[in-house]
Each structure stands twice: as C-alpha cells, then as structure tokens.
Amino acid sequence: MRLVSHRALRLCGMMFIMMLSGLSGCLFVWEEEEFYPPMSLSPKPEIEMSRNTLESKSGDMIAFIPKGWTILEKDLHPSSDVFAIIVDSTLTLGAVFSSIGSIPNMPKDNNERVNELMRFAIERHKQRSSNTIVQIGKGRSLSIGRRIFGMLEFAGADGLHTKAVVWQSKTGNHYECALVPLDLMGSRIPDDSVKSRILRSITSMIMF
C-alpha cells in the first residue's frame, strides 16, 4: 500500500513539474493585445452641450457642440477633408471633424470594423506628419447604444496629446473627430481627464 502511495506521489510530482514548466513558458511567451477591451458609454453627455450642430458634407452625420464653443468659418479649414472645426472660449482646445477616406475590404463585424478604422487613422496621421506621430497607449472600441466608435490617442513632435474618435456612418463613410490642444494664447491646456470628458461628451452627441 505504501509503495503504491509513494509511486502515486512521485507521478503526481512529475506531472506538477511538467505543468509548471509548460506554464512558465506561457508566462514569458505571449502576445500583447492590440486594443483595450471594448467599453460602453452612457448616451448622456458629461458636460453641458448647446443646440448648435454641425454636419458632414454628405449630410449623413450631425454633431451637437459643447456650450460656449464656436464653429470656425470654412475658409479656416486646413484641408478639403475637414468639414468642421470648433474651438472653446479660451482657445485652448479645438475639435476637428474630417472625412478619412474609404477603406477597402472592411470587416463585417462592428468591433473589427472600428479596429480597422483606428489602424487606418493612425497610419494616416503618421503619413501626414512625416512619421513624427506616436500612438499613446492602445485604441478602444466604444459603444453608445447601437453606435460604435473607436477612440485613440497620439502625440506629435511638440509632445501635445491629441485624442480622437473614428466611426463609420450608415452610408459607409468614415469620419474622425480629433480633440486638439491649442497653444495660442499662453493659457494652460486642460488636463487629460478634462479632455477625455469633453471628447466623450462630443462623441455621445454624434448622430448617424
């Protein structure tokens, strides 16, 4: 009886060592996820919004803007893909709404589609900045009811962080809203938590 028990213990010990060896390999050889887990947001904005709206050139999306913010004239737009720019009253933040072009062979799954949009948006900014743009952290899929967005963050050569959301309208057009810090008046730029709250609020009031 003791012999059987001893052999059983040795067998269990050997199996346990093999399991630990296998696990140790798994612990050190793994692939990091490309995106943060998806998140659901409340449709209620976190800051006060106005009744003023902007819309895309094709009219397939509209967005309400924060109270006290101003819509700039179209002759101030830096490129033809930008269809609206809004700025806050202190001129420390601006939100740039733009079309980001077509993407071939988009996935049918909503989350996979928005992930592809985030990849495309980052590469687009890198190309336009001569590869000086650096992504900060990972992208994340956000759902507000049936609407799905991708949220990402990046920094330029000046070190200022831009937060952005991307989405696909029901007509298949792809858009971006980038919340850009403005260093114009020497005023202090709002901190990261304030910028996140503003962008989430703007996103909650984007309709398509």
- For the chain, helix, strand, coil in percent to 5 are 30, 35, 40
pLDDT > 70 in the chain, percent = 85
Query: Which residues are CB-contacts of 141 (< 8 A; sequence separation ≥ 6)?
Result: 35, 38, 39, 111, 114, 115, 148, 149, 150, 151
Which of 29-43, 121-135, 189-203 shows the lowest mean pLDDT across its residues?
Answer: 29-43
What average pLDDT does range 119-128 have in this prediction? 95
Q: In this predicted model, which residue has the larger pLDDT, 19 or 184?
A: 184
DSSP letter (8 states) at residue 205: T
Both tokens assigned to 192: 């990261």
- Confidence check: pLDDT of 122 > 70: yes
**Shared-domain flag, residues 107 and 17:** no
Cα separation, 82 vs 189, in Å, equals: 23
Query: Which residues are CB-contacts of 115 (< 8 A; sequence separation ≥ 6)?
Result: 34, 35, 107, 139, 141, 150
**Shared-domain flag, residues 119 and 160:** yes
**Shared-domain flag, residues 25 and 41:** no
State the pLDDT at residue 32: 64
pLDDT-based confidence at residue 151 (cuts at 50, 70, 90): very high
Phi (first) and psi of residue 46, to 5 degrees: -90, -10
**Shared-domain flag, residues 153 and 74:** yes
- The count of domains in the chain is 2
pLDDT digits over 17-68, tens only?
A: 333 333 333 344 444 689 999 999 999 999 999 999 999 999 999 999 999 9
**Shared-domain flag, residues 18 and 43:** no
pLDDT > 90 in the chain, percent = 75
Cα separation, 160 vs 175, in Å, equals: 22
- Confidence check: pLDDT of 15 > 50: no
Cα separation, 58 vs 92, in Å, equals: 29
Which residue, 131, 117, 132, is CA-closest to 164? 117
**Shared-domain flag, residues 95 and 9:** no
State the pLDDT at residue 25: 39
Range of the domain at 8: 2-30
Which residue, 4, 44, 55, 27, is CA-closest to 203? 44
**Shared-domain flag, residues 112 and 16:** no
CATH at 123:
3.40.1000.10
Both tokens assigned to 67: 């109270």
**Shared-domain flag, residues 81 and 166:** yes
**Shared-domain flag, residues 154 and 125:** yes
pLDDT digits over 61-111, tens only?
A: 999 999 999 999 999 999 999 999 999 999 999 999 999 988 888 998 988
**Shared-domain flag, residues 10 and 79:** no
**Shared-domain flag, residues 26 and 48:** no
**Shared-domain flag, residues 129 and 174:** yes
